[in-house]
């Protein structure tokens, strides 16, 4: 195929004929304009030009090649016609650079909340809004923290805790921590290497990463970045076109993925209002007046705009089909009741994640840790507990090893952490994620000694008092250590928290 000059591309710079360049390839997106989930306006901004930089944080590299019909793939750009332009820094880029330079040194980070505070300070407003937002009044996201504070320890003493071991297995795979990296979408909004920060850190430290369907990096990039023997799971959003899902799942299995986590709590995405408001604020922070003009619904933030492929008709009837297309263990992510936990068990999947999607879906849904207690009781009706054939995981709000230990004492096999790891790489890249693992290790060692548990299987329900867990009103202590009690390090005399 002959090469296409940038001049030829520039001739197609309108809605009636719109060509764009992504990663050195030219695409005719004219007919796709009205279908683009993010609206036509954003594409038209790059009509006749190279759109790679805008494309990259939001789409995996293969999104355009898989979604645009082959005949619209026009060919490669003639590299001799490409004028290298030095990228002009926007005000936002400059601000981000200055804030990154003013970050506290990573040595000053001592707990996982600190990463969040730095991420909040340094992230572009859109990225922070997307990552931190939760649905409606954000009651559930707060409850995810508060619930752990309604559980108290009953520590045992004099048990010779000179050595403690927190390693475990998750779906039969070794893990150095009783914590896995849960899926979070769009990693490049927060760091140019996106999810690869997690992969690299996880490979180095023997932690399991769950690869998100909606990662900014492509699935293959993430698998390619793993070291030999590194364990990865896949989080799955089920496509309306089941052939696409089948291919994706089977490709993942072929590439060595060891577990399939099907998200079951998002037939429609929750309204994350922080994210929704961002849509209509332009770079200068001024609200746009003619909102909705480009076909993007007013109430759609980044996530909703790219989630239309998710199939709301997904049902229990699909489970046998999933079992027929893969031999990977299947885990349902987003279970919230004992009724559904028992259905999952009876449908023969290998586990469940008790999750409310980080508070981003149904607001005032209960926390995973609260549901765990009822779910374990229900599962005991199906045979001896713990059941080697069925693992229960919990995610949402976990920021401390003490949270992890509470969940395990109450019957969780391991816990998922999403945002905290993401914030650690937004703030400090791979090194940040490694530091987050180190914080977990330090806290696990200390807490296990103080509880009197030398290994994960010595964590038993008698070590916690969860009698207040169902009490949703009253004097739940605010999680305000990081707001009021401690003072944050200053850098160059400026406290950025
Ligand atoms: O929570 C999310 O933001 C999420 O799961 C998602 C779903 C679809 C598109 C992007 C993100």
pLDDT tier, 87 (very low <50, low <70, confident <90, very high otherwise): confident
Question: How far is residue 91's CA from residue 95's CA, in Å, rounded to a whole number?
Answer: 6
The question of whether 265 is a catalytic residue gets the answer: yes
Least confident of 75-79, 111-115, 202-206, 215-219: 75-79
What pLDDT score does 492 carry? 57
CA triplet 328, 330, 335: central angle to 5 degrees? 165
Ligand 1 atom at minimum distance from 357 CA: 1
Q: Tell me: the pLDDT tens digits for 296-322? A: 455 567 777 788 899 999 999 999 999
- Of residues 308 and 354, the one with the higher pLDDT is 354
Place of tokens 């928290």: 497
Site to probe by mutation for ligand 1, drawn from 190, 269, 271 as the one with most ligand atoms within 8 Å of Cβ, is 269
The question of whether 347 is a catalytic residue gets the answer: no
Q: Distance from the CA of 68 to the center of ligand 1, in angstroms? A: 22
Ligand 1 atom at minimum distance from 302 CA: 10
Q: Distance from the CA of 443 to the center of ligand 1, in angstroms? A: 30
Q: Distance from the CA of 241 to the center of ligand 1, in angstroms? A: 18
Ligand 1 atom at minimum distance from 306 CA: 9
Question: What does residue 114 show for φ and ψ, rounded to 5 degrees?
Answer: -60, -40
Q: Comparing C-alpha atoms, which of 241, 215, 219 is closest to residue 59?
A: 215
Site to probe by mutation for ligand 1, drawn from 307, 419, 422 as the one with most ligand atoms within 8 Å of Cβ, is 307
pLDDT tier, 287 (very low <50, low <70, confident <90, very high otherwise): very low
152 token code pair:
């108290």
Ligand 1 atom at minimum distance from 185 CA: 11
Answer yes or no: are the C-beta atoms of 331 and 338 closer than 8 Å: no
Where does ligand 1 bind, in terms of residues with CB under 6 Å? 185, 214, 266, 269, 303, 306-307, 357, 360
- Mean pLDDT (the chain) is 90
Q: What is the DSSP string of 306-317?
A: T-TTB-TT--GG
Give, using CA atoms, the residue closest to atom 11 of ligand 1.
303
pLDDT over 70 (residue 330):
yes
H or E stretch covering 25: strand 25-28
Q: Comparing C-alpha atoms, which of 28, 35, 30 is closest to residue 4?
A: 28
């Amino acid at each position: 195929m002959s090469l296409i000059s940038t001049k030829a591309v520039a001739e197609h710079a309108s809605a009636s004929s719109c060509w764009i360049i992504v990663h050195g390839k030219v695409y005719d997106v004219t007919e796709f304009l009205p279908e683009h989930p993010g609206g036509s306006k954003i594409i038209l901004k790059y009509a006749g030009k190279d759109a790679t930089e805008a494309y990259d944080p939001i789409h995996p590299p293969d999104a355009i090649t898989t979604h645009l019909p082959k005949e619209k793939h026009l060919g490669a750009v003639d590299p001799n016609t490409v004028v290298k332009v030095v990228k002009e820094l926007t005000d936002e880029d400059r601000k981000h650079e200055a804030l990154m330079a003013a970050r506290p040194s990573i040595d000053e980070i001592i707990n996982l909340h600190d990463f969040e505070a730095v991420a909040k300070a340094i992230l572009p407003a859109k990225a922070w809004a997307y990552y931190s937002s939760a649905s409606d009044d954000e009651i559930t996201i707060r409850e995810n923290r508060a619930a752990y504070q309604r559980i108290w320890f009953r520590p045992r003493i004099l048990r010779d805790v000179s050595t403690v071991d927190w390693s475990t297995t998750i779906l039969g795979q070794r893990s150095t921590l009783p914590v896995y990296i849960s899926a979070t979408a769009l990693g490049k909004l927060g760091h140019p290497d996106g999810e690869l920060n997690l992969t690299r850190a996880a490979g180095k430290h023997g932690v399991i990463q769950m690869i998100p369907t909606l990662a900014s990096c492509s699935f293959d990039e993430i698998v390619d970045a793993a070291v030999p023997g590194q364990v990865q799971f896949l989080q799955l959003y089920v496509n309306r076109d089941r052939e696409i899902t089948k291919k994706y799942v089977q490709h993942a299995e072929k590439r060595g993925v060891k577990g399939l986590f099907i998200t079951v709590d998002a037939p429609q995405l929750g309204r994350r209002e922080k994210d929704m408001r961002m849509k209509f604020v332009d770079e200068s922070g001024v609200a746009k007046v003619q909102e909705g003009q480009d076909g993007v619904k007013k109430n759609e933030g980044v996530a909703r705009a790219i989630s239309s492929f998710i199939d709301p008709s997904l049902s229990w009837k699909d489970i046998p089909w999933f079992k027929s297309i893969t031999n990977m263990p299947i885990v349902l992510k987003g279970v919230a009741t004992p009724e559904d936990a028992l259905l999952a068990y009876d449908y023969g999947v290998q586990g469940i994640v008790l999750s409310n999607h980080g508070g981003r879906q149904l607001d005032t849904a209960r926390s995973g840790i609260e549901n765990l207690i009822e779910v374990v009781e229900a599962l005991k009706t199906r045979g001896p507990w713990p059941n080697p054939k069925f693992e229960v995981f919990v995610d949402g709000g976990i920021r401390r090893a003490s949270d992890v230990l509470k969940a395990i004492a109450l019957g969780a096999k391991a816990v998922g952490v999403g945002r905290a790891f993401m914030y650690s790489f937004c703030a400090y890249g791979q090194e940040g994620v490694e530091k987050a693992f180190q914080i977990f290790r330090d806290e696990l060692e200390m807490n296990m000694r103080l509880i009197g548990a030398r290994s994960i299987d010595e964590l038993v329900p008698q070590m916690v008092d969860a009698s207040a867990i169902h009490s949703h009103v009253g004097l739940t202590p605010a999680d305000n250590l990081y707001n009021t009690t401690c003072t944050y390090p200053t850098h160059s005399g400026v406290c950025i928290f």
